Structure 1
Amino acid sequence: MLNNLVLGAAEGGAHINTGDILFQLVVFIILLAVLRKVAWGPLMGIMKQREDHISNEINSAEESRKEAKKLLEEQRSLLKEARSEAQNLIENAKKQGELQREEIVVAARNEAERVKEAAKQEIEQQKEKAVAAIREQVAQLSVLIASKVIEKELTQADQDQLISDYIKEAGERR
């Protein structure tokens, strides 16, 4: 057929074989219809499914990103809150420790003052006992001296000697 066209064109006249053209046109249209039915429809369906799947994946990734960002912000907020709370706990512990230290110091001072007062009272009692003991000894010595003086008449020198002896004797008794 192509030979006929080429030969017909070479002989001077253009002869077109309309039967062949029409047959090829019908076969081409049938081929397009079959391709559309068999290949194009399923291919477009697969492409549409793929497009929907990719779109869903993108939307899912965007949602996941937003959720991750939200969780990150929540975690940062919680971390900031925890740090603030920890700082408050440290400050409260420091204040409590300072108060306890002051209470301990006050209690120690009060105890020291109490012990000091008790020691003063003890010293005063011991002093009073010592004074009472000295008074008793002086009274005994006075009675002894008086009895000795009454027993004998003494000269001034004898009296001085007697008083010295009794003072020495009293010193030895202590």
Structure 2
Amino acid sequence: MSTLINSTSLGNIIIVTGSFILLLVLIRIFAWKQITGIFKAREEKITKDIDGAENARKQAEALAQKRQEELSVAKDDAAKIIDNAKEIGDAQGAQIITDARAEVNRLIEKANQDIAQNKAEALSSVKGEVADLTVLLAEKIMTKNLDKSTQSDLIDQYLDQLGDA
């Protein structure tokens, strides 16, 4: 029995091995090119995907670098615009201050001229009134023969009239 089991086992091994070899030969003849073609296509697709991903990464890095450079340029431009605006504002502020000072000086000069003119007019008016009062006093003194107290009263009255004017 042991020989039977051994021979059956040996026979099974030979049949299985033969079937396996036949299967390998048939696969090699009929399907090997398709199987290797599938693996080759898959390998090429994976290679293309890896290359595409690498190219996309490089493009993304280049775009990020370009964006960073443009952002830097934009920041520089913004800083220049702000500096120019500050300079223009300072210049306009200085011009406004200069114009205001010139206007103040002009108004002060005009006020001084008006004061001098009003003073001259007032002095002229006072001189005229003093002259009129002096003539009037002289007339009264000439027309009256006055004693000392009447003459003193007349002069006091004249000075009061000058004070009112």
Q: Please state which band the TM-score falls in when normalised by the shorter chain.
A: 0.7 to 0.9
Q: 2:60 aligns with which of 68, 93, 118?
A: 68
Query: Does 2:51 correspond to 1:59?
Result: yes
Compute the RMSD of aligned alpha carbons.
2.6
- Aligned residue in 1 for 2:155: 163
What is the aligned partner in structure 1 of residue 103 from structure 2? 111
Deviations 1:22-56 (A, max 9, x none): xx98x888655421232211100101110110111
* 1:96 CA drift (Å): 1.5
Report percent identity of matched pairs: 36
Q: Alignment length, in residue pairs?
A: 153
Structure 1 residue 97 displacement after superposition? 1.7
Q: Which amino acid is the alignment partner of residue 104 of structure 2?
A: A
Q: Which runs of 5+ in 1 are unaligned?
A: 8-23
Amino acid at match of 1:152: K
- Where do residues 11-50 of structure 1 align in structure 2 (5 Å cutoff)? 31-50=23-42
The within-5 A match list for 1:83-122 is 83-122=75-114
Deviation at 1:69, TM superposition (A): 1.0
TM-score normalised per structure 1: 0.77
Larger Rg: 1
Please report the TM-score for the alignment, with normalisation by the length of structure 2: 0.80
SS at match of 1:117: helix
Partner of 1:153: 145
Gaps of at least 5 residues in structure 2 are 8-16
Partner of 1:20: none
The amino acid across from 1:140 in the alignment is: D
Aligned with 2:69 (options 77, 80, 90): 77
Which residue matches 2:129? 137
Aligned equivalents of 1:29, 1:68: Cα separation in 2: 53
Give the equivalent residue in structure 1 for 2:14.
Answer: none
| Letter matched to residue 126 of structure 2 | I
Q: Which residue pairs with 1:16 in the alignment?
A: none
Bigger RCO of structures 1 and 2 (CA < 8 A, at least 6 apart)? 2
